């Protein structure tokens, strides 16, 4: 796991990319490398050493003939199998980095279909003077780009792009949509004009000043193919994929741990790990808690691990820590992020890093592919779990700003509504923002996060299952629960889906009330808000209207981004 950056175009300056890498040192503190090609291309890399810890595997990494140079963020989990396919004769390292570059040399962009991993990488072709960027199927690893002075810049995070002079102009349509309907950003758009995101499953070629974008991952066709070739014994096949996906993600030359909560997905992850690595006492588990028994799941997690060889590391988040952590995360994300759960995770990764764990696994992604959200089946238009009325407050926005809202583009590639909802959550809404939140808070502490449930083989086969295998007897994720019978007790298997719990509503209205007021009222500096309405909504909240705290968090998050950058 790393940070990558670069610029392409006449007059590319090494110092600029060095500044970018300095700002992303948290993504890879083990080595920083800068490579240049006659002021036409500069590539930068911050390395977090995970596989092959030797200096020989440092990046930027060039091919033997020096034609191609690679900077790579992520992991190729099946790199050993690909290495065998490529032939072992003249490899200089034992890294997945070299395998990735060799695969590109042999198969070109066709090698992307062979990769099982999470990745964002750039390859400079010195002969053709062409840059090739690619991002993994589901967008686990980030990649941003921008144009300035006839040069293309790319980077793993947004803030360094501001550092080198990309204007910090808010994308009003995206910000307005965020406040009115909770949309974070869709497709290649970000919250900032001129900064775009390479979409999941896409490539970008840059040559002679021209950008060419191409969708390399045809998810829709993959699903239709799976539907036409239905699994004969889906339970056993998917169980084997779950085990293999977990096993692959333990490939590392550094200590590996995992995150736990009280949910079914997290419990299944523990069982998959325990069934294959249960004798390894060096593997440790991490969970956060807040000291509030109404929300904490620490007792459950402790009982789940009872009898295993895995040590549990409980990480306490207290209210007094929230303001400082919230500010740090806001300045690194530079886009709105989730509230207290994201803040709690940030502290969890910090503790893991302090204990020497560079790699953690978690259960992210199962709900989108196995159909775990209640609104998939209850015809609700709300995307937030556990909320009965709208969590948004468009009344606090000025009329002009409300009119900026971007009309939603509904992508419906399938004939079945359930599949289209799942597709939306995978590629446009829930998963995309969750992956962004998690990538930043894990990498802020130089920790790599791996998601076994997002193994593309697993997602494709599960997504393609017929509806009755996703919902039966009023139970969502039905087949997932059936597989869980081989691992877990009935009480855990049948537990209903619920959102990740923290006392956010209570803390924002009580222990953190003064901080909330200071931050929320400071958004008066933005011409987007009717401050009289903001004050009314704050008073209603403090008087007890606390079914949702999302609108309160929106204002705090926005203030932290604009007032501290």
What is the per-residue pLDDT across 19-71, written as a single tens digit (0 to 9) for each? 999 999 999 999 999 999 998 999 999 999 999 999 999 999 999 999 999 99
The neighbour count for residue 118, using CB atoms within 10 Å, is: 27
Confidence class for position 383, pLDDT limits 50, 70, 90: low
Best CA proximity match to 409, nearest among 391, 399, 423: 423
Contact 231, 218 (CB under 8 A): no
- CA distances to 256, 274, 384, 486 from 380, rounded to whole Å, are 39, 37, 10, 33
Q: List, as residue ranges, the binding site.
A: 96
3-state SS, residue 196: strand
3-state secondary structure at position 14? helix
CA dihedral 299, 300, 306, 309 (to 10 degrees): -100
| pLDDT per position as a tens digit, 491-547 | 554 555 555 579 999 999 999 999 999 999 999 999 999 999 999 999 999 998 888
Helices (H), 147-297: 159-163, 172-181, 219-228, 234-248, 264-277
Domains and CATH numbers, the chain: 2-217 (3.60.20.10), 229-364+435-493 (3.40.50.620), 504-564 (no CATH)
- C-alpha span between 303 and 445 (Å, rounded): 28
- 41 carries an active-site annotation: no
Strand runs (DSSP E) across 56-209, as ranges? 61-62, 68-76, 117-125, 130-135, 144-148, 151-155, 196-197, 202-207
User: Residue 417: CB partners within 8 Å, gap ≥ 6?
Assistant: none
**Is residue 242 exposed (0-12), middle (13-18) or buried (19+ Cβ within 10 Å)?**
buried
Between the CA of residue 471 and those of 209, 373, 422, what are the distances in Å? 50, 11, 14
Q: Is 198 exposed, middle or buried (0-12, 13-18, 19+ CB in 10 A)?
A: buried
Catalytic entry in 2, 21, 41, 155: 2
| CB distance 348 to 438 below 8 Å | no
Residue-wise pLDDT tens digits, 363-378: 999 999 999 998 998 8
Structure tokens, 474: 């009023």
pLDDT tens track for 156-178: 999 999 999 999 999 999 999 99
Q: What is the pTM of this model?
A: 0.95
Residues 6+ positions from 301 with CB-CB distance below 8 Å: 260, 261, 262, 285, 287, 312, 314
Q: Which residue has the higher pLDDT, 496 or 457?
A: 457
- Strand 256-259 relative to strand 359-361: parallel, antiparallel, unpaired? parallel
Q: Which residue bears the tokens 């911050």?
A: 46
Q: What is the pLDDT of residue 185?
A: 84
Half-sphere exposure in the Cβ direction for 301 (13 Å, CA): 25
* Cβ 481 vs Cβ 475: under 8 Å: yes
Strands (E), 151-293: 151-155, 196-197, 202-207, 210-215, 256-259, 284-289
**Pairing verdict, β 448-450 and 359-361:** parallel
* Helix 96-107 vs helix 79-86: crossing angle, to nearest 10: 50
What DSSP designation does 364 have? T
Binding residues for L-glutamine, by number, are 96
CA pair distance 265, 497, nearest whole angstrom: 10
Q: What is the mean pLDDT of residues 441-468?
A: 97
């Amino acid at each position: 796991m790393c940070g990558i950056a670069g610029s392409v175009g006449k007059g590319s300056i090494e110092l600029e990319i060095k500044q970018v890498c300095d700002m992303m040192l948290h993504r890879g503190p083990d080595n920083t490398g800068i490579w240049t090609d006659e002021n036409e291309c500069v590539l930068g890399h911050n390395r977090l050493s995970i596989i092959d810890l030797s200096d020989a595997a440092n990046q930027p990494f060039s091919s033997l003939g020096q034609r191609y140079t690679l900077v790579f963020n992520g992991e190729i989990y099946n790199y050993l199998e690909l290495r065998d396919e490529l032939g072992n004769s003249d490899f200089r390292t034992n890294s997945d980095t070299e395998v990735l570059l060799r695969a590109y040399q042999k198969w070109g962009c066709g090698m992307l279909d062979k990769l099982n991993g999470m990745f964002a990488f750039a390859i400079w072709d010195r002969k053709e003077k062409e840059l090739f960027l690619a991002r993994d199927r589901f967008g686990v690893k980030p990649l941003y780009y921008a144009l300035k002075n006839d040069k293309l810049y790319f980077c793993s995070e947004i803030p360094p792009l501001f550092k080198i002079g990309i204007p910090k102009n808010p994308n009003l349509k995206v910000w307005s949509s965020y406040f009115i309907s909770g949309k974070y950003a869709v497709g290649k758009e970000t919250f900032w004009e001129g900064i775009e995101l390479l979409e999941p499953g896409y490539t970008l070629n840059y040559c002679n000043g021209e950008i060419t974008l191409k969708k390399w991952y045809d998810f829709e066709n993959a699903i239709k193919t799976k539907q036409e070739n239905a699994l004969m014994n889906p339970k056993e096949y998917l169980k084997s994929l779950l085990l293999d996906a977990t096993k692959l993600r333990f490939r590392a030359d550094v200590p590996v741990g995992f995150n736990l909560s009280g949910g079914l997905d997290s419990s299944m992850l523990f069982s998959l790990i325990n069934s294959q690595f249960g004798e390894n006492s060096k593997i440790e588990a991490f969970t956060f808690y807040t000291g509030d028994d109404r929300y904490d799941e620490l007792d459950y997690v402790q009982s789940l691990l009872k009898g295993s060889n895995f040590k549990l590391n409980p990480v306490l988040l207290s209210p007094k820590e929230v303001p400082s952590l919230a500010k740090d995360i806001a300045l690194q994300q530079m886009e709105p992020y989730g509230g207290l759960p994201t803040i709690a995770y940030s502290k969890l990764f910090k503790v893991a890093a302090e204990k020497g764990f560079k790699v953690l696994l978690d259960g992210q992604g199962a709900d989108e592919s196995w159909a775990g959200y209640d609104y998939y089946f209850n015809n609700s238009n709300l995307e937030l779990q556990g909320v009965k009325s709208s969590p948004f407050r468009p009344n606090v926005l000025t009329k002009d700003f409300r009119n900026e809202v971007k009309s939603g583009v509904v992508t419906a590639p399938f004939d079945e509504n359930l599949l289209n909802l799942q597709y939306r959550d995978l590629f446009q809404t829930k998963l995309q923002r969750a992956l962004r939140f998690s990538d930043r808070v894990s990498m802020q502490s130089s920790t790599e996060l791996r998601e076994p449930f997002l193994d593309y083989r697993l997602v494709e086969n599960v997504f393609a299952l017929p509806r009755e295998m996703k919902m039966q007897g009023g139970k969502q994720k039905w087949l997932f629960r059936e597989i869980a019978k081989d691992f877990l007790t009935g009480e855990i298997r049948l537990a209903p889906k619920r959102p990740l719990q923290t006392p956010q509503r209570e803390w924002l209205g009580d222990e953190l009330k003064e901080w909330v007021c200071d931050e929320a009222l400071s958004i008066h500096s933005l011409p987007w808000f009717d401050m009289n309405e903001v004050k009314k909504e704050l008073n209603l909240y403090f008087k007890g209207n606390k079914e949702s705290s999302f609108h309160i968090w929106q204002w705090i998050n926005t203030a932290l981004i604009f007032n501290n950058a």
